[in-house]
Amino acid sequence: MSRIRWYQPGFTPKVFSLPVTFFPKRILVSHCLLLFWKMIFSAQAILFDMDGVLINSAPAVERVWRFWASSHGLDPAAVVAQAHGRRSIETIRAVAPGLDAEKENIVVEQMEIEDRAGVTALPGAAELLQSLPADRFAVVTSATRPLAVARMGYAGLTVPANLVTADEVVHGKPSPEPYLKGATLLGFAAGDCVVFEDTPAGLASGRAAGAQTIGLHTTYPAAALHAAETVVASLAQVSAELRQGTILLTIHAMVEDAGRGRQ
């Protein structure tokens, strides 16, 4: 159960206690009088995707995949569209089934490791990670471990104690396996976790595992992340507090007026 608060000008703040999945977000977001709202999730552990959630690696990802696609006579835009939120070997299998996926995956991974230009921490990422106990969160990424370690280093983030990577699962996102493994690594059921994701495939993975999900519209528009309980612009809109053994995540957001959506 999560507590959700919203504030309206000229009204006393109201507090409800109900499952987040049943809250009418569209009404809340489109209400012409609504200026600010807060949503509070309670969880035992937090599971973060890496690229697009903690780290901005989009320029590097697109450079690598465009180069690789061009070198094989493929449509770069179509390949890039497949690449976000999935293991690279699965992208290769999807767009070029005639190639040796394992061999090509080694090439792509090395190019991604070497391309560090523009790889930076996203707003609020370092602060949110630092506010959480190390044994209560994990990073669950479609990158391999060498690539994940490299990118977190480029972004100035500490590699977490708990990390699930592409080379440690049989089935990548949108399969629930990555997030099920992340929850198990922390000693909790996935249903006791909140997942932060930036792609439809990642959200599908988290939901299939049974977790609550929060989307970040860093890679895809908010409309494409409709499967999430809520969507934010960055982790700068999120704060965490450990209270009596439970993590309380507060989502802070603002809506200017009806029809203008989230900021």
The string of pLDDT tens digits covering residues 163-219 is 999 999 999 999 999 999 999 999 999 999 999 999 999 999 999 999 999 999 999
Looking at per-residue confidence, does 110 or 10 come out higher? 110
Enumerate the H helices of 39-154 as residue ranges: 58-71, 76-83, 88-95, 101-114, 125-130, 145-154
Q: In a 10 Å sphere around its CB, with 0-12 CB exposed, 13-18 middle and 19+ buried, how is residue 55 labelled?
A: buried
In the predicted structure, residue 10 carries a pLDDT above the cut 60:
no
Q: Of all helices (H) and strands (E), which one includes residue 250? A: strand 246-254
Share of the chain above pLDDT 70, in %: 83
Alpha helices in 1-57 (DSSP H): 25-30
- How confident is the model over 107-163, as pLDDT tens digits? 999 999 999 999 999 999 999 999 999 999 999 999 999 999 999 999 999 999 999
Cα–Cα distance measured from residue 48 to residue 176, given in angstroms and rounded to the nearest whole number: 14
pLDDT digits (tens, 9 = 90+) for 40-95: 999 999 999 999 999 999 899 899 999 999 999 999 999 998 888 788 899 999 99
Which CATH number, 3.10.440.10, 3.40.50.2300, 3.40.50.1000, 3.10.20.30, labels domain 44-55+119-236? 3.40.50.1000
What's residue 146's pLDDT? 96
* pLDDT confidence bin for 254, thresholds 50/70/90: low
- 49 catalytic per annotation: yes
pLDDT score recorded for residue 20: 42
Higher pLDDT, 233 or 20: 233
CATH 3.40.50.1000, the chain: domain bounds: 44-55+119-236
Q: Which residues of 229-250 are buried (b: 16+ CB within 10 A; e: fewer)?
A: bbbbbbbebbbbeeeeeebbbe
Q: Which of these, 61, 173, 54, 178, lies nearest to 117 by C-alpha position?
A: 61
Using alpha carbons, select from 46, 52, 57 the residue that is nearest to residue 153. Answer: 57
- The neighbour count for residue 82, using CB atoms within 10 Å, is 17
CB 39 within 8 A of CB 254: no
The average confidence (pLDDT) of the chain is 85
Q: Please indicate whether residue 167 is annotated as part of the active site.
A: no
CA-CA-CA-CA torsion sign (160, 213, 113, 93): positive
Q: What is the dihedral of CA 124, 127, 130, 134, to 10 degrees?
A: -10
**Among residues 49, 115, 192, 198, which one is catalytic?**
49
Which residue among the candidates 51, 115, 192, 198 is catalytic per the annotation?
51
